[in-house]
Chain A
């Protein structure tokens, strides 16, 4: 039995405190009732402390001292919120007083409060500010939330002025209702507290007991009518603010009712534009003491004191939010899974979207009832994805053997995670891919094994390879292409996030080239299969002509018609989509290879090398390489790039020896060729995106994100041009660049040109900064 349990049974009534003196006091509760007897051990505590040797730390074994660095410190002005000093107005602020000597001043006060609260919402959501320093700094918000929570219903002020008692309260409840929606989005787990959004509600209940959105909206309409009828033109600004709040309250419908109606969002854009153009911040001032840090001092608070935010005239922020939400809601119009996937791929790729839009996307796409967009089951969804890539017209998809079901379920889970990851903030996006690599790899292995087993039972597809008929595995081809695409995204996103130093760029660009080469091989395989299927349907038409019996002819005709009706269109679409994928992959491949050549030229000049410039006895270039490629180390196929392979590649690209001038010229020519080919592919894709998928050439699936996809390729085009210009600059100074002094004064940096793609930064020559100066 544990010692403490044994002691429970001991009689402790005659406890003696020995020679130590102890003063006894009684701790009382709020009503003055005795709670427990306290013994003063101050002297004993300090006496014992004298015996401690310097540097001694006594701590709970389960406590990590690192956590202590997050502690608040008593009597430290920067950390102790009890020390926040308040003005007399702040201390004496009374929420049930109608501040303002006359009606106009009261209108101005109420307008100023609602205006500040509305702009605080933008500061909170768009500028990563906290609630206590924005919305919750308003005494009325705190008061109403506390009083309503106690009553379990919406309570109102009693100042005697309807502007305060009705209009202000309705506005505040509207804002709090919207905050409750944001809280719900945050709790859904797509976005992260502190990383994407701060929801420190100071322990206040944000209307959890109140679900009736319509009541809030009706009351806001009532207030608008009241302001317009009682204040005339003087109340225009206030009524516009109330309209914005209604739009915010209605935003919940996109999650609760999965509404794709953007009327309210358009209204929000329009209202926010109006307010943005009418800066009246100097005209209206809130009553003194209305906004203060006092909530941080009075309520439970685990954070250091923070000054209130001074918001800009930031109404445009609502427009950003609404525009981003509109992009996300377009997914409702996705006619194919390709369109949904392309929306996911592009909507958040180049520009990080508003936190509300990012949080809503996966929740809107994958619904609470386990359906996709309320139309498809999860199994339908995965089948559509597969059919729109490689599984159309395959034996395996037609027979749909039972063994595949658990694997398809697993595929769906991985795919959902992919969709969710596309909505993450820019840093977590890459971290998410890190995890995705393993999931796709495991899925690829599983699919390959199952398809191999099915092939042995005769459920198999074949395609014509260079050495005759070869097995074709449609499901594992899809998983492989998703995996390699994720690997490419992970690698190139590293450049966007400045993860790599210039000396690492050779290996990462080479790896990107290697991956796109592998992806191309997979796409070729799929294309061959699709071609063979299309040819076989066409072949059927020819066969009909050759057959002599009417009966057989009719049978073949029916078969042909059936295939034309059910398979041909999708096969042709897939073929055109593959053409797009080929071009897209070729762009990455060419740009990566051009960067590899650029690196080799700079290496020839002696300005850069693949080895780390920071030498340390604790590490080596090999260890650094292994660390850099650790995320790929457990991937089965494609093979991981070993240190030896990389070194041998580097030697192949090396411009050295007697033929160096020829090699240099070759490198420059190859670089130009790759960049030209990338540029052509970009132009073609851009034209096809603009023309839409009925252009007859390629299918991009970007109908819903035309602007975003074009933006992505425009950035790539700028990068291509910048790489060409950069290469010309370097080449034009080749002779002087070889001088030792010049080399000493210059270095290479990775730089994204203005309007260029962050995934392919320039290897730019710059003068070294003398850090000693």
Chain B
């Protein structure tokens, strides 16, 4: 994972948790230097009793984020892809 940089996560599906118990799952399309994120195709999960809903394009300010998660499969693939690219360059 050391080889990964922030641009590598563009296009990845991220799972962002907030302090209020909400989790947003969406595709990362942009981020700025303060780590405010812009996610597209966002699904909002609000616990099992309240189900989920889609919100579209959502801006997530850095100060609302309590955790950022990514699927293990995707992360593995990212790491490998990056290693392969680096190996080709070297």
Contact = CB atoms under 8 A, between A and B. Distances in A.
A44 B1 contact: yes
B30 A65 contact: yes
A48 B5 contact: yes
A302 B56 contact: yes
B69 A39 contact: yes
Contact of B84 (A3, A37, A42): A3
A12 B76 contact: yes
Contacts of B4: 44, 48
A301 interface: yes
A56 interface: yes
A39 B71 contact: yes
Interface in B1-58: 1-7, 9-11, 15, 18, 20, 22, 24, 28-35, 38, 40, 44, 46, 48, 50-51, 53-58
Contacts, number: 160
The prevalent SS among residues of B at the interface is mixed
Interface residues of B, number: 57
B35 A15 contact: no
A48 B80 CA distance: 19
A46 interface: yes
A50 B50 CA distance: 36
Given A49-B33, A53-B33, A82-B22, A71 B73 contact: no
B58 A15 contact: no
Contacts of A52: 6, 33, 35
A71 B22 CA distance: 18
A42 B67 contact: yes
Contacts of A36: 71-73
A147 to B, nearest CB: 16
Interface stretch (A18-26, A110-118, A483-491): A18-26
A46 B75 CA distance: 16
Nearest to A10: B80
Interface in A42-84: 42, 44-46, 48-49, 52-60, 63, 65, 67-68, 70-75, 81-82
Nearest to A25: B69
A24 B30 CA distance: 25
Given A38-B71, A73-B58, A49 B6 contact: yes
Interface in B46-90: 46, 48, 50-51, 53-61, 64-73, 75-77, 79-81, 84-85
A73 B67 CA distance: 17
B35 A45 contact: yes
B80 A12 contact: yes
Given A25-B69, A41-B68, A57 B55 contact: no
Nearest to B40: A63
Given A71-B38, A71-B59, A74-B60, A3 B81 contact: yes
Contacts of A54: 33
Contacts of A74: 18, 24, 58-61, 64
A250 B90 CA distance: 74
Contacts of B72: 24, 36-39
B84 A48 contact: no
B53 A298 contact: yes
A7 B77 contact: yes
Contact of B33 (A40, A41, A42, A56): A56
Contacts of B15: 27, 38
A30 to B, nearest CB: 6
A299 interface: yes
Contacts of A4: 81
Nearest to B15: A38
Contacts of B38: 59, 63, 68, 71
Contact of B30 (A20, A22, A30, A68): A68
A60 B37 CA distance: 12
Contacts of B7: 58
A39 B56 contact: no
Nearest to A67: B57
Given A12-B77, A39-B71, A18 B30 contact: no
A618 interface: no
Contacts of A12: 76-77, 80
B10 A301 contact: no
A40 B73 CA distance: 13
A628 B5 CA distance: 51
A666 interface: no
B52 to A, nearest CB: 8
A57 B6 contact: no
A82 B44 contact: yes
Contact of A60 (B29, B32, B55, B84): B29
Given A36-B71, A60-B29, A15 B80 contact: yes
Contacts of B75: 15, 17, 22, 39, 41
A72 B58 contact: yes
Nearest to B10: A60
Given A15-B80, A20-B2, A59-B30, 18 more contacts: A12-B77, A17-B2, A39-B72, A42-B67, A44-B1, A45-B9, A52-B35, A57-B32, A68-B38, A68-B59, A72-B57, A72-B59, A73-B60, A74-B18, A74-B24, A81-B55, A82-B22, A302-B57
14 contacts: A30-B51, A37-B73, A38-B69, A45-B35, A48-B5, A59-B10, A60-B10, A68-B59, A72-B55, A72-B57, A73-B61, A74-B18, A300-B54, A301-B55
The 4 tightest CB contacts between A and B, nearest first, are A18-B2, A59-B30, A302-B56, A17-B1
